[in-house]
Amino acid sequence: MSSSLNESLGKSVDVAIVGAGITGLSAAWHLSQRGLTVAAFDGTGIGSGATAVQPGGVRQQWGTEVACRMAREAYAFYNEIGERLAPAVDPRLTACGYLFVARGEAELAAQRERLELQHKLGIPSREVTPEEAGELVEGLDTSEVVGGVWCDQDGYFDRPLAVVGAFADAAARDGATFVGRRVERIARDGEGWRLELAGGEVARAGAVVVAAAWDTPKLLGPLGVELPIEREPKYLFYSDPIRERLLEPLVVVPELHFAAKQLADGSVLASDLGGGSRPDEGKEDWHRNVRRAITATLPILEYVSFPVLVEGFYDVTPDRQPVLGAIDGHDGLFVAAGLNGRGLMMAPAIGRVIADGVATGEVEDWMSALSPSRFADGTLTPELQVV
Ligand SMILES: Cc1cc2nc3c(=O)[nH]c(=O)nc-3n(C[C@H](O)[C@H](O)[C@H](O)COP(=O)(O)OP(=O)(O)OC[C@H]3O[C@@H](n4cnc5c(N)ncnc54)[C@H](O)[C@@H]3O)c2cc1C
């Protein structure tokens, strides 16, 4: 995206986007595609937040209608990413499959219920027996496994940052600009909005989309808009690249709060999914939990060591659903934040919904589950299939 501070400050744009992570970039491209003038503002650069850390997972196995529909739309988009965004580097979406393993009947029952919903919405997931799970994932110890669910369309971008670059470049080709400034304050300005930037400059826009992840509440709070979006630390362990292929699908063991996958470069990624909620217990604990889960479920990884620990942050909400759409009572103010660990895989749908909202004021009925007003209304639709 071209960086043109003076140009963007000199005239009012149709839409200002606060935050140039994958969410803001997708919104920028979708809005530019509709012929609107767009400027994206970020003090730390394009794709420098959680977007820089995510390893590229893309799945359609979700537990609520809204998440399934968005995942389905995003998956269809990503399958055509070459034609849609003409990326400079092929991000390579590889369908490795995601296996959710159940070790107890309660987890299996919950998986079956979500499977039913997924099937209604056209997601080609299926239940697998322990034997089938063992065939799908070589090296899985099935002795404690009672079943599981699998979708072979789920997968990974081998080069997730190429997706970020693709949205940024495509938005720039359509005329969007990037301004390397933090937005300190957003305020009403006649019919539109004024953005006060770090350094004292001011920018103006007809509409504003706040896509600033966990920083979003700080910008909206002074306008009287309270959103429960919080920062939650997450940790991924990585091995050094290994030549042997040990684990092609992504395996999730919800009861052990564990997920693992070998990436395209040969490194193995493993995570204690509960790790982020116990920051004071620290790295050794999560490492121990990962080792314990490997021994119990994926002994094939027993001799893999994990010297690299990467810290990142989810922007979480109480119902684990994004906050997306127009903010009531503030004409032309929109939010796209609280991605709860799924920002890359949902980005095409998030950007499309924001562009619809800005351009036409319309959103589909099923999107009401993500409405910014839901916390005040108390109408939450919790998503439980979180990783
Ligand atoms: C360990 C880990 C693993 C993950 N794995 C996956 C995965 O496999 N698949 C997946 O889909 N998702 C995954 N995610 C989640 C994904 O990374 C995020 O949901 C996504 O990157 C969020 O994008 P975003 O643009 O909303 O936020 P961010 O990327 O955090 O971008 C927000 C931007 O806003 C900017 N900003 C904040 N305040 C201001 C301000 N006042 N003015 C201007 N700019 C501001 C920040 O500088 C930042 O660049 C993972 C996340 C983590 C941490």
Q: What is the dihedral of CA 49, 53, 57, 58, to 10 degrees?
A: 10
CA pair distance 59, 74, nearest whole angstrom:
10
Rounded to the nearest angstrom, the distance between the alpha carbon of 182 and the centre of ligand 1 is 15
What pLDDT, on the 0 to 100 scale, is given for residue 278? 62
Nearest one of 70, 62, 59 to 97, comparing CA atoms:
59
Q: Which of these, 270, 282, 362, 136, lies nearest to 127 by C-alpha position?
A: 136
Give span(s): CATH 3.30.9.10, the chain.
94-156+231-316
CATH superfamily of this structure's domain 94-156+231-316: D-Amino Acid Oxidase, subunit A, domain 2 (3.30.9.10)
Which is the closest atom of ligand 1 to the Cα of 55? 8
CATH superfamily of the domain spanning 2-53+161-229+318-377? FAD/NAD(P)-binding domain (3.50.50.60)
Ligand 1 pocket mutation, candidates 1, 158, 215, criterion most atoms within 8 A of CB: 215
The CA angle 369-370-376, to the nearest 5 degrees, is 85
Instruction: Give me the amino acid identity at 279.
Output: P
pLDDT of residue 276: 65
If you measure from the C-alpha of residue 21 to the centroid of ligand 1, how many angstroms do you get, rounded to a whole number?
A: 6
CA of 20 to the centre of ligand 1 (A): 9
- 96 with 156: CB under 8 angstroms? yes
Ligand 1 neighbourhood includes 68 CB (under 6 angstroms)? no
pTM score, whole prediction = 0.96
332: Cβ below 6 Å to ligand 1?
Answer: no
- The whole-angstrom separation of Cα 86 and Cα 202 is 33
CA distance 188 to 282: 44
**Torsion of Cα atoms, 211 then 169 then 343 then 341, to 10°:** -110
Tens of pLDDT along the chain (387 residues) come to 655 554 556 679 999 999 999 999 999 999 999 999 999 999 999 999 999 999 999 999 999 999 999 999 999 999 999 999 999 999 999 999 999 999 999 999 999 999 999 999 999 999 999 999 999 999 999 999 999 999 999 999 999 999 999 999 999 999 999 999 999 999 999 999 999 999 999 999 999 999 999 999 999 999 999 999 999 988 899 999 999 999 999 999 999 999 999 999 999 999 988 766 665 667 788 889 999 999 999 999 999 999 998 989 999 999 999 999 999 999 999 999 999 999 999 999 999 999 999 999 999 999 999 999 999 999 999 999 999
Ligand 1 contact, 21 CB (< 6 A): yes
Q: From ligand 1's centre to the CA of 356, what distance in Å?
A: 22
Residue 97 in contact with ligand 1 by CB distance below 6 A: no
Domain with CATH 3.50.50.60 in the chain: 2-53+161-229+318-377
344 C-beta closer than 6 A to ligand 1: yes
Ligand 1 midpoint to CA 322 (Å): 12
Write out the two tokens for 299: 């002994």
State the Cα–Cα distance between residues 233 and 50, nearest whole angstrom.
10
